[in-house]
Amino acid sequence: MRDLNYQLKKLCRQCREGSYATQSNREWVLSLMANQLHELGYRKMTPQSLKPKHIEALVKLWFGQDLSVGTIKNRMAVIRWWAHKVNKQNVVARSNEHYGIPDRRFVTDESKARSVTREQLEQVRDEHVRMSLELQQAFGLRREEAMKFQPSFADRGDHLVLKASWTKGGRERTIPVRTEAQRDVLNRARRLAGFGSLIPSNRNYVHQMRVYEGNTCRAGLSKMHGLRHAYAQNRYEELTGWKAPAAGGPDTRSLTPEQRETDRKARLLISQEFGHEREQITAVYLGR
């Protein structure tokens, strides 16, 4: 293990802040940054040697990888955590605008929906990653939820129960099981995981995250959060009878009063199934 990777891991173990999921994700992101800095030619670094040029190089790389604004902002938060812990806060600009990172858009006018075909799934070598992708597509799960998913606990017949420890924000929630296709995915997930999760017993969350990233990259798959967008749009059409604005359907302003009430109820339900407290967040997935 390189010095920077080891020392950042040690820093994470010494400063255990936030939930277990937050700590695991922070450690994974820092390890990724250490590897990327090494590949960019910055060798023999320590946590204390962080400089503005390193941050600029990482941000440029991430833009080149076509990462979402949200992902880049989350990584910037991890960099600021790193800088704070080694008393080098001043090397990071206070505003993300300094790096050309725009504000998140909470209303979309274009669909970010993605799907994975059977042929694409067959290119994913790791069977646990493959099953996590199927769960993301079938139930609109976040990546972390689909990795930590324990079918023996979650599957309650006509609905799923997601543990708070699996979810963003630590909120337990339920998702209906509505179709035979969803039931088929769950049955196969049960056979694979047994009484465990979709993280094999010989791996931890951080390790499995690396396996997931490597397998999807080699299979030519990216922006898999788009599976969640596709689920939301399909669910909206099922509940309302028309396509979501982001999928080519009518915008909210053109709906009749009765249709607007149907739209409102559908968005509330989708928001609850997605683990959000605000109906407004559905605009990210559905448009307005």
For the segment 95-136, what is each residue's pLDDT rounded down to a tens digit? 898 888 877 665 556 788 999 999 999 999 999 999 999 999
Residue 251 falls inside a structural domain: yes
Give, in order, the Cα–Cα distances in Å from 40 to each of 9, 55, 64: 20, 12, 13
Q: Are strands 173-176 and 159-162 parallel, antiparallel or unpaired?
A: antiparallel
Is the same domain home to 154 and 87?
no
Q: How many Å apart are CA 123 and CA 121, to the nearest integer?
A: 5
Whether residue 109 lies inside any domain: the answer is: no
Asked whether residue 137 falls in the same domain as residue 187, the answer is yes
* 39 domain-assigned: yes
Residue 176 parent element (H or E): strand 173-176
Residues 75 and 152 in one domain: no
CA distances from 17 to 50, 167, 236 (A): 21, 17, 37
For the chain, what is the mean pLDDT? 92
Residue 108, pLDDT score: 58
Q: Does residue 234 share a domain with residue 214?
A: no
Residues 164 and 245 grouped into a single domain: no
**pLDDT for 169:** 74
Does one domain contain both 131 and 194?
A: yes
In a domain, 105, yes or no: no
The least confident of 105-114, 138-147, 162-171 is: 105-114
When divided into structural domains, the chain yields a total of 3
Question: Would 111 be classed as within a structural domain?
Answer: no
**Domain end point (choices 99, 134, 158):** 99
Which of 204, 220, 236 delimits the end of a domain? 220
Using pLDDT thresholds of 50, 70 and 90, give the confidence band for residue 171: confident
Q: Whats the size of the chain, residue-wise?
A: 288
Q: Which of residues 171 and 255 earns the better pLDDT score? A: 255
Same-domain status, 8 and 82: yes
Identify the band that residue 31 occupies on the pLDDT scale cut at 50, 70 and 90.
very high
194 in any annotated domain? yes
Mean pLDDT for 217-230 is 92
φ/ψ of residue 105, rounded to 5? -100, 120
Determine what percent of the chain is predicted with pLDDT higher than 90: 75
* CA-based nearest residue to 230, from 141, 137, 166: 137
Residues in Cβ contact with 245 at an 8 Å cutoff, skipping those fewer than 6 apart: 109, 251, 252, 286, 287, 288
According to the model, what pLDDT value does residue 187 have? 97
Q: Which residue range is the domain that position 208 belongs to?
A: 124-220
The average pLDDT across 216-234 equals 93
- What are φ and ψ of residue 67, in 5° steps? -75, 155
> Do residue 51 and residue 31 come from a single domain?
yes
Q: Residue 100 contacts by C-beta under 8 Å, 6 or more apart in sequence?
A: 59, 63
- Helices (H) then strands (E): counts for the chain: 13, 2
User: Are both 181 and 268 inside the same structural domain?
Assistant: no
Is 31 exposed, middle or buried, given 0-12, 13-18 or 19+ CB atoms closer than 10 A?
A: buried
For residues 233 and 274, state if they share a domain: yes
Identify whether the C-beta of residue 132 lies closer than 8 Å to the C-beta of residue 147: yes
Residue 174 lies inside a defined structural domain of this protein: yes
Do both 59 and 82 map to the same domain? yes
Q: Are 182 and 248 within one domain?
A: no
Angle between helix 69-85 and 20-39 (nearest 10): 90
d(CA 6, CA 35): 11
| Angstrom distances, CA of residue 14 to CA of 7, 23, 87, 137 | 10, 11, 15, 37
For 5-23, write each residue's pLDDT tens digit. 999 999 999 998 887 778 8
* Residue 105 pLDDT: 60
Residue 156: burial class (beta carbons within 10 Å; 0-12, 13-18, 19+): exposed
Q: Is residue 86 part of a domain?
A: yes
